[in-house]
Amino acid sequence: MRIAVVGTSGSGKTTLGRQLSASLNFPFVELDAVNFQPNWRDLHTYDRDEFVRRVDVATRGEHWVTDGNYKATRAIIWGRATHLVWLDYERHIIMRRVIARSLARAWDRRELWPGTGNREQWSTWLRADHPIRWAWSTWSNLRAQYEAAVTEDVYAHLTVLRLRHPREASDAVERLAGSIQ
């Protein structure tokens, strides 16, 4: 079983991905951790080939869970995945979550990915690529992209779990864990 968790920024992809990984005892591939290097240098922008190569290597195994929305790696991840868990929550739910997450990260200043030194900074909150603004501006477009993508023949092999509310997440974990027993 290979599971891709997708959804808008702040939807809870990493949280659910880690829960699935722990429940199934599968490796977890956090795509943001692969992408973001020290000083917020992102491979997706500055060395896309290396980013794709790293994701390719990380998803060659028989079992894994990934989280993330990078178009550059969609064909690899979705092509190899057996299951797609789509966190398709309403915008107000996403915004409440991403704002709370950004506040907590900016307040506690914890490093987001070990060894990178990358931390949420108050000074970045007005930038267009800040997760709060990013979630707001990409929500409807990303939803439309996924609605179209899951109907493509190339992804017909995927079992798609489209979750519409966070309360459905624990049931999805139980369902997926139960399917390998």
The token pair that represents 61 in the structure block: 């195994």
Is 181 strand, coil or helix?
Answer: coil
Architecture, CATH, for domain 2-90+139-179? 3-Layer(aba) Sandwich (3.40)
Say what angle helices 91-108 and 131-149 make with each other, to 10 degrees. 140
Whether 160 shows a pLDDT value over 70: the answer reads yes
pLDDT in tens, 55-88: 999 999 999 999 999 999 999 999 999 999 999 9
Whether 34 shows a pLDDT value over 60: the answer reads yes
The answer to whether 9 and 138 have CB atoms below 8 angstroms apart is yes
pLDDT in tens, 107-117: 999 999 999 99
AA letter at 152: E
What b/e string do you get for 161-173 counting C-beta neighbours within 10 Å, with b at 16 or more? bebeeeebbeebb
Q: Where are the domains of the chain?
A: 2-90+139-179
